[in-house]
Structure 1
């Protein structure tokens, strides 16, 4: 632990005592303290959003969602996102509008569509990622749905009639 070393000065008149402290136990104490604080610290838990997916097999039957009672987001390449409230016969390049993920634009679009919905309790947000979309944009759109507090949403593949209009706009 600690040693006292007595040294004599040349001339023999005065003895000088040197004290040497062994720091090895302090290293052990440091590691014990680090371990203690690591075990007692509260680590933040990740925020997880539940995503209920249907079981494989026959699709569930239910009410068909009216186009005025939903808003559809198409996630494209290069962080582009398009939206519409049209059906197969009405959708064209003028109805398919483009927005981006900056600010609260998507949440605002969802809330405006919700206000115009004839049956608000059946209002549904539909997300259709293309093959060129990236995962970050998909998570961002789900975050915007959670921010707008809409609990009815669906994720599906882009339909051929939507893909036709989408490719017209992206080329």
Structure 2
């Protein structure tokens, strides 16, 4: 509780001086109230929910090669911000794919490639059925993977997959 100390001081000349009062405020109830408020807000607030990305796994009964080449776009990511791409899946050894190179630039880059392929698939099949296969080399850095995932989100590509790169495709990056 609050406590008032009063001390009487006598004047040195015999005159009466005003009394100086010293105050001391007891902070115990204020500290109790502070801890009660902290406890209340800790128990009533919701903690932040973890942000996760949905992962869609392929079906067990499906065949990975059942995707039509006309609906597929394969993007190869290499070292030093190098992007190589080709239309289709590239699994036909008799007819190797036409390898093209691009960059992460906003104009004349990978975004334009994805948009043109998506519009081509939409015109041909009547819906957004583009499937992008992303294949990264061991020398590719994490930033490039994040950049290509951002491009998938920006370009509204609903179906894409991270796939292991083959030795033939590693040769395409050189």
Q: 1:139 aligns with which of 130, 146, 160?
A: 146
Cα distance in structure 1, aligned partners of 2:159 and 2:131 = 5
| Structure 2 gap segments, 5+ residues each | none
Larger CA Rg, structure 1 vs 2: 2
* Alpha-carbon RMSD: 3.2
Cα distance in structure 2, aligned partners of 1:42 and 1:83 = 45
Q: Does the Cα contact within 8 Å between 1:91 and 1:165 map onto a contact in 2?
A: no
Question: What's the secondary structure of 1:54's corresponding residue?
Answer: coil
Once the two structures are superposed, the pairs formed by residues 1-171 of structure 1 within 5 Å of their partners are: 1-11=1-11, 13=16, 14-41=18-45, 45-54=49-58, 60-61=62-63, 64-85=66-87, 87=90, 89-91=95-97, 95-100=99-104, 103=106, 105-117=109-121, 118-119=124-125, 120-166=127-173, 168=174
> What TM-score does the superposition give when structure 2 sets the normalisation length?
0.71
Q: Which region of structure 1 is more displaced relative to structure 2, 63-72 or 154-163?
A: 63-72
Change (3 A) 1:161 1:145: same
C-alpha deviation, 1:19, in angstroms: 1.3
* Residues 75-121 of structure 1 deviation map (CA, whole Å, 9 limit, x = unaligned): 222343332215353435xx331212x55854443221111223355
Change (3 A) 1:36 1:125: same
Paired residues, what number? 162
